[in-house]
Structure 1
Amino acid sequence: MTNNLSNTKFFSQIVDLLLSAKSNVVRTINQTMVTTYFQIGRMIIEEEQDGKDRAEYGKGLLKELSKALTKEFGKGFSVQNLERMRLFYQTYSISSTLSRISEKGQTQSNEFQNAEQQNISVNFNLSWSHYLKLMRIEDENERKFYEIEAAKNNWSVRELERQYDSALYTRLALSRDKEKVIELAEKGHIIEHPKDAIKDPYILEFIGLPEHSAYSENQLEEEIINKLEHFLLELGNGFTFVARQKRISFDDKHFWIDLVFYNRILKSFVLIDLKIGELKHQDIGQMQMYVNYYDRKIKLEDENKTIGIILCQNKSEAVVEFTLPENNEHIFASRYKTVLPSKEDFKSLIRKQQNI
């Protein structure tokens, strides 16, 4: 038997088991803590409802509770944190089971308490820090969307903040009808058709290039590759990187596609061309050529048609409309921003998109 266990499959399996167990322990602790805070919030609400003068009684209740809990358990139970727990319950007590409140003086049975505890645990899959961020989102549909996406994509709190600050929900909702917007809130970002994977604009603030500076397309590409993990998050679900500056050749002529990805959900290659400044009709024609080549020479029979995305700083909707065929479903032109827009800039982008 070898003494060098570090290279054996046996050792790797043990390491994987321990890492999985550690992850599960952390997840269980987070879930238990969030569930407990929800329960505390509910109990505070119930106790306040028993007070004659709710405002004054509630204010005094939280102070006394904070003092008692801090003495018993230490930090973490300030009046502000207790107010957050109360708000957490008010925000998330939606389903009939979770929002049921005992009548005054009536004790719930152990059976109902256990069932309630299980339902709460199923619903809360993020950390307390995530929920502190989510509770600040006023629109319920928007909040539900970010909660689903954070859990589904394992977003850190920092990534959740980044996606919210870049208005991901709004950017996706712009290209959807009312029914599809509701679906965003109920199911998150579901990709079924090529257009579902497209955003306009793409926010590339993570690459560190200033807006409207004299950088080249090569510099833009280089910075995207250096921050590929961030770019994949911005692209969305199912994207994997394939190549950069992919050469295609025919008739003794050579062409280079800036970036090539593959989307596992759509089972399609995704070609991305980067353009500085205003989009020209020649850029769209070039992308059409790239897509045709991949469809005829590269993709397999069981794969779907290739998708082309041209990222540009600015575009004329009329140029896009009249250059592409009426039934186009696979070539898209989207703007990109290298600086996170302000709220006013986002409003301006939305008005332009909706032709207001």
Structure 2
Amino acid sequence: MSTIQPSSDRAYEEFLQAIKSQVVQSRIGAARAVNRSLIGLYWTLGQLIVERQAALGWGKAVVERLSADLKTEFPEMTGFSPRNLWFIKQFYEAYADAPEFLKQAVSEIPWGHNIVIMQRIKDETARRYYLEATARLGWTRNVLLNQIKAGAYEVSLQDKSHNFAAVLPEYLAEQAEETLKSQYSLEFLGLTQAVHERDLERSLLARLKDFMIELGYGFCFIGSQYRLTLGENEYFLDLLFYHRFLKCLVAIELKTGRFRPEYAGKMDFYLEVLNDQERAPDDNPAIGIILCAEKDRLEVEFSLKSKTNPIGVATYQLYPQVPQEYEGMLPTDEDWQRLLESTQNE
């Protein structure tokens, strides 16, 4: 009986990985086919229930009776409880008049996910967003719930500043874009006036749980003033996180004033060092987020053009929104920052 020689171990490992990939793809395909079949069955059942109730004037009791009869006829099958039959009926009613692409989208995600979206999201465009994002990104039901609670759809509509599409693979750029917000609300800090960057950092660390909720689902805190070394030089990142779903380090720099082009260069440098020294072999490239009080979109766009690492620039809000009639009458964050700097120099 022949054996594989050591010299061919690498070739065999590549062969094994190819076989395993095919098995995994086959299992995924089979699971999707089963799911589409189940959703198709539920669609037909919902349609029959709605149409017969309307035509014959049957009341709610028919669902209870149908549940008992189906469970007797198909004891090996789940999904025929009265509660689930009501969901099936609501499912058909929710999408009966929807565009065809939406009817197709519901078949691409599990039934439990469909229930969550159907119950919590009423706007058709928002439903499409969560259906497609769940199918594309493979969200679990808990992740989907957290994304809905965090207002992921509303966040996706924001005017965001980043270079993700230019420096990341398409699938990863989309996920990173989903994660970034245009503006972060830091009102939970309870600050009533502008502060220095280190004071802002200390305040965020004191309310770290609230800050992580505002950042969004998936962020894991690593450290503050995180030390990086290059030769004899030391550098310190304001905040460093790891994102479970992006599978990458996320560096955050805090700026209490207006965005400046040199901030992008500094962040690009930090990300180079992180990728070289801290990135695990199976991690995606590190991402940087610059949080500042104000930004000019065009200035940010030109600052990020030449950068090779993924960087997003967002603003933060420390105080409640000013009523529209008072806008322009109160000092901006930049005004407060100039006041702080002038006070320091006296």
Same fold (TM over 0.5): yes
Is 1:172 aligned to residue 144 of structure 2?
A: no
Q: State how far apart, in whole Å, the 1-side matches of 2:21 and 2:55 are.
A: 51
Structure 1 counterpart of 2:74, which letter? F
Structure 2 counterpart of 1:81, which letter? N
Per-residue deviation at 1:46? Answer: 1.2
Of the candidates 291, 311, 314, which is equivalent to residue 333 of structure 1? Answer: 314
The 10-residue stretch of structure 1 (18-27 or 328-337) with the greater mean CA deviation from structure 2: 328-337
Of the candidates 74, 80, 84, which is equivalent to residue 81 of structure 1? Answer: 84
Is 1:309 aligned to residue 292 of structure 2?
A: no
Higher relative contact order (CA 8 A, sep 6+): 2
Structure 2 counterpart of 1:20, which letter? Q
The 10-residue stretch of structure 1 (82-91 or 25-34) with the greater mean CA deviation from structure 2: 25-34
Q: State how far apart, in whole Å, the 2-side matches of 1:165 and 1:247 are.
A: 39
Q: Provide Cα deviations, 1:247-294, integer angstroms capped at 9, x if missing partner.
A: 679xx9754556699xxxxxxxx984344xxx4238857624515869
Residue 59 of structure 2 corresponds to which residue in structure 1? 58
Q: State how far apart, in whole Å, the 2-side matches of 1:144 and 1:289 are.
A: 38
Residue 158 of structure 1 corresponds to which residue in structure 2? 142
Residue 110 of structure 1 corresponds to which residue in structure 2? none
Q: Per the alignment, in what secondary structure is the counterpart of residue 126 of structure 1?
A: coil
Q: State how far apart, in whole Å, the 2-side matches of 1:170 and 1:97 are.
A: 24
Residue 30 of structure 2 corresponds to which residue in structure 1? 25
Structure 1 counterpart of 2:64, which letter? K
Residue 13 of structure 1 corresponds to which residue in structure 2? 18
Kindly report which structure 2 residues correspond to 1:1-356, keeping only aligned pairs within 5 A, or say none: 1-2=2-3, 8-9=12-13, 10-51=15-56, 53=57, 57-74=58-75, 75-95=78-98, 124-136=107-119, 137-175=121-159, 198-201=181-184, 230-231=218-219, 255-257=235-237, 272-275=251-254, 279-281=255-257, 287-290=263-266, 309-311=289-291, 317=293, 320-321=294-295, 327-329=299-301, 330=304, 332-335=313-316, 351=321
When residues 11 and 88 of structure 1 are mapped into structure 2, their CA distance, relative to the original with a 3 A threshold, is same
Q: Provide Cα deviations, 1:194-214, integer angstroms capped at 9, x if missing partner.
A: 9995442289xxxxxxxx995
Q: Per the alignment, in what secondary structure is the counterpart of residue 201 of structure 1?
A: strand
Q: State how far apart, in whole Å, the 2-side matches of 1:308 and 1:213 are.
A: 16
Residue 194 of structure 2 corresponds to which residue in structure 1? none
Q: Provide Cα deviations, 1:210-260, integer angstroms capped at 9, x if missing partner.
A: xx995887x97xx99xxxx9239xxxxxxxxxxx866679xx975455669
Per-residue deviation at 1:131? Answer: 0.1
TM-score by length of 2: 0.56
Q: Per the alignment, in what secondary structure is the counterpart of residue 2 of structure 1?
A: coil
When residues 134 and 336 of structure 1 are mapped into structure 2, their CA distance, relative to the original with a 3 A threshold, is farther
The answer as to whether partners of 1:259 and 1:272 remain within 8 angstroms in 2 is: yes
TM-score by length of 1: 0.54
Per-residue deviation at 1:120? Answer: 5.8
When residues 146 and 6 of structure 1 are mapped into structure 2, their CA distance, relative to the original with a 3 A threshold, is farther
When residues 50 and 230 of structure 1 are mapped into structure 2, their CA distance, relative to the original with a 3 A threshold, is same
Number of residues paired by the alignment? 258
Structure 2 stretches lacking a partner, 5+ long: 161-171, 187-199, 221-225, 243-248, 271-286, 305-311, 328-346
The answer as to whether partners of 2:158 and 2:181 remain within 8 angstroms in 1 is: no
Structure 1 counterpart of 2:219, which letter? F
Structure 2 counterpart of 1:89, which letter? Y
When residues 164 and 248 of structure 1 are mapped into structure 2, their CA distance, relative to the original with a 3 A threshold, is farther
Q: State how far apart, in whole Å, the 2-side matches of 1:64 and 1:201 are.
A: 51
Q: State how far apart, in whole Å, the 2-side matches of 1:125 and 1:15 are.
A: 24
Q: State how far apart, in whole Å, the 2-side matches of 1:120 and 1:149 are.
A: 15
Q: State how far apart, in whole Å, the 2-side matches of 1:60 and 1:260 are.
A: 53
Structure 1 counterpart of 2:82, which letter? V
The answer as to whether partners of 2:106 and 2:131 remain within 8 angstroms in 1 is: no
Q: State how far apart, in whole Å, the 2-side matches of 1:27 and 1:88 are.
A: 19
Structure 2 counterpart of 1:138, which letter? K
Structure 1 stretches lacking a partner, 5+ long: 99-118, 177-188, 204-211, 233-243, 262-269, 295-306, 338-347
Q: State how far apart, in whole Å, the 2-side matches of 1:288 and 1:190 are.
A: 18
Structure 1 counterpart of 2:55, which letter? D
